[in-house]
Structure 1
Amino acid sequence: MFESVRVSKRGAPDAVIAGVFKPETGRPKPDPQTRALPAGEAIARACDRPECTGAAGSVTETFEGSTRVLIVGLGARSEFKAGSLRSALAGAGRRLASAKASRAAIELAGPLKRAKIDAHAAGVAAGECFGLLSFDTTAFKGAGTTDRPQRPRLSLRSTDAVFEKGVARGLGLAESANLCRRWASTPPNVATPMWMASEARRIARGVETLSVRVLKGAELSKERLTGIATVGRASVNEPCLIRVAYTPARPARGARPAVIVGKTITYDTGGLSLKPTNSMKGMKEDKDGGCAALAAMHAIATVVRPRRPVVCLLAAAENCVSDNAYRPDDVLTFRNGVTVEVTNTDAEGRLVLADALCWACDREKPAFIVDLATLTGGVITALGSTFAGLWCEDDALRARVESAAEASGERVWRLPMHDEYREMMKSPIADLVNSNPNRKAHPIQGAAFLDAFVDRGTPWCHLDIAGVHGVDSDTGPYAANTPTGWGVRLLASLMDQE
């Protein structure tokens, strides 16, 4: 939509964005601060028009001389939060893009003061909105497409310095989220496990606080990373564990690392438990947990810069079919000694995650672990595309993740863990099965399986993002049929608490 978005005061704005709340009765009216803007009288007149209702996300357009003025509906004041701007400003952003506007002033100080909203937090949400709108949905269009839209460059400003500083931070977070979205969109003939490793090295280049190590081939066997090696062995694209480490310039004394784990299945055919044709399309996005984890490291190193070290582990493999593919009935022995009977080769994500969780506990000595995965279709049945499923039995970590979800607008909903679910995953042949065919509590099965690979006493949170990692229609700042980059901003917010 935009080629780039930045904060700049160079040149006079060719557009102004103001906001009004939806009143309980009657017409919306601009507050005194908005009325005092140079375009205040034009805004007041536009508020008298019938199409100007103040409904959340609505846009009413007018002009003050040659300056375009967009009046954004903010919804009911009692329901308004800083994060509401991520969606409320999306319509204005689309209008600016279609009008090829290049310089816009966002003037919301009056409504924010009336609603008692922190200006910096509101600015972050506004910056995220415009940054996410800049995602290029036409990156893989070629010479056969002659009508690719022109994407303007947009600069933003505000007379509220605190809000403007928040906008700059929000744009930085959105840049990281858009990295995730680009990786998620990249087709599997390009985005192989080793391509993901090369992207990790690329973002670390020039960032002194980031380092990358890639374990592949014989090193996977040496480190007993059985799940990654087994799932990926049928593909010509070799599997790997990608370790990305953030080492702060001034680390807090004695701080153990936070560990982020991402399922990075670059394509999932289902293996010998082959997916039906219509279920295989779109499986390039089975790497989206890993894409989010890696992009979060970019945000952590370039925007957040916490004093706690952070380690990211991407369990990367392609689940294919060949004469050496792993089979139902195989029994695998993992790094921590747990044995697993394979009952379904299409439940491969939990096998590669098990390796990363074992490594995290064994080698990283983490303060806590958060993993992200497009793990189950069952979580979509349970929660739709409104919430990601959350499993976390550590009260302190769960509270922090829920707070980060609130701050980032990436919603989570806690689902249960219980010994009866763990019993469901027991095997008559080995310690565990990787999938229980009875389909009961399907999303919880995955969490219950992973629980066996986390050391007792280690705070751990599992996020199943299968329902929230993409959108089917235009939704807030996201265009139809695009990835959302879900989890990048949540993880950045989580580490910002440090």
Structure 2
Amino acid sequence: CEYVSGGRIVLSPTGKITPYHDVNVIREAAKKGMTRALDAGMKKPLLVVENVVDFPDGQLVCIMGGLEAFYIPLQIRERQDTKNFIRIGLHAEEKQTEAFERIVRNAIALERSRIFARDIGGGDPERMAPAKIVEYVKKSFAEDHNNITIKVIEDEEIIAQEYPLLAAVSRAANRIDRHKARVVHIEYKSSNPSRVSETLMLVGKGVTYDTGGADIKISGKMAGMARDKCGAAAVAGFLKACSILKPPHLKVIGVLCLCRNSVGEDSYVSDELLISRSGKTVRVTNTDAEGRLAMADSVFMMSELALKELNPHIYTIATLTGHARACYGNYTA
């Protein structure tokens, strides 16, 4: 194409958009187009960001879809130089406006946070064992002391006392120091507390590897269970976004419930009666339902803290995909 710098243009259509589509069609088109450009050897791709009237956030999603194509897993980046481009350009008809510049800034901040979350969620069971996640989180937030505070609980006795259900899940893993449970508290505070109007309280499931425990996964179902920590990864990523964008109206408290559901002579088993932080007795019926146990004590702790917070909202984020698929199908899961 002689009218385009570099002589090449990649068209990535969404196809006909109907009322049944969501903004994901924009993301997919942008990602596929950028992937094709990189595969063709383009080093300075220019992404044309159209304003799709069907979706108010279409431009933001388009940019993030394009940026997604550049992601390279952490463990590959750590071994070799993997940069496959020189720079990225963004073009829009309204590129001179403050609104579009704000969209670009938000997209870059969100992508930085998403890379951080992907690195944790996609890391293998050893690279992102509980102890390694703690190191990575501390390193990532090292320059954010002004609005981010981090507290790590790793003492076995304290975890057994304050997070007894998490401690039960972690029992078989406790013989290996890097696999021992950790509870990571990350808090974002606005630089102007008087403007805070709500408090988000997030609990993330961080099972770094899920064997199923004594109710062990069979028939190849264990593969991929290193991603059972993506809930905790999402919480960490959200707080990373807060540290960059610095929303003045929010206070955010996040808890990463990090453990490994291993198999061993000290595994917790079905029929055990466990006493939770709240004092309620929990009967184990399947050790492969460890996610709710890993998070339950932290959720109760959040409910205690919420009594002192302004307009609190408590959320759990977890990869409970089996139940999600049963309820909503593969797309949602």
Letter aligned with residue 85 of structure 1? I
- 1:397-436 equivalent positions in 2, closer than 5 A: none
Give 1:267 deviation, angstroms.
0.9
Partner of 1:152: 85
Give 1:105 deviation, angstroms.
3.8
TM-score w.r.t. the length of structure 2 is 0.85
Closer/same/farther in 2, CA of residues 68 and 278 from structure 1, 3 Å limit: same
For structure 2, list consecutive stretches of 5 or more residues without a partner in the other structure. Answer: none
Larger radius of gyration: 1
- Please give the alpha-carbon distance, in whole angstroms, between the structure 1 residues aligned to 2:229 and 2:254: 14
Partner of 1:378: 323
Write the deviation string for residues 113-148 of structure 1: whole angstroms up to 9, x where unpaired. Answer: xx4765xx33311221122111114844999x9xx9
Cα contact 1:158–1:164 (8 A) shared by 2: no
For structure 1, list consecutive stretches of 5 or more residues without a partner in the other structure. Answer: 1-61, 388-466, 468-498
Greater Cα shift, 95-104 or 202-211: 95-104
- Please give the alpha-carbon distance, in whole angstroms, between the structure 2 residues aligned to 1:191 and 1:77: 40
Give 1:364 deviation, angstroms.
4.4
Write the deviation string for residues 343-387 of structure 1: whole angstroms up to 9, x where unpaired. Answer: 211111111111110111113435011111112513223323312
Letter aligned with residue 386 of structure 1? Y
**Alignment counterpart, residue 8 of structure 2, candidates 68, 88, 96:** 68
Partner of 2:159: 220
**Alignment counterpart, residue 134 of structure 1, candidates 27, 50, 70:** 70
**Alignment counterpart, residue 353 of structure 1, candidates 295, 307, 312:** 295
Is 1:87 the equivalent of 2:20?
no
TM-score w.r.t. the length of structure 1 is 0.58
Closer/same/farther in 2, CA of residues 275 and 157 from structure 1, 3 Å limit: closer
Partner of 1:472: none
Greater Cα shift, 93-102 or 368-377: 93-102
Give the total of aligned pairs.
Answer: 318
Cα contact 2:49–2:90 (8 A) shared by 1: no
Partner of 2:261: 319
Is 1:204 the equivalent of 2:204?
no
- 1:109-120 equivalent positions in 2, closer than 5 A: 112=52, 115=53
Partner of 2:203: 261
Cα contact 2:49–2:62 (8 A) shared by 1: no
Give 1:221 deviation, angstroms.
3.2
Is 1:281 the equivalent of 2:223?
yes
Is 1:169 the equivalent of 2:110?
no
Matched position secondary structure for 1:309: strand
Between the aligned residues of both structures, percent identity stands at: 22
| Greater relative CO (CA pairs within 8 A, separation 6+) | 2
- Please give the alpha-carbon distance, in whole angstroms, between the structure 1 residues aligned to 2:23 and 2:180: 45
- Please give the alpha-carbon distance, in whole angstroms, between the structure 2 residues aligned to 1:116 and 1:340: 48
- Please give the alpha-carbon distance, in whole angstroms, between the structure 2 residues aligned to 1:338 and 1:196: 30
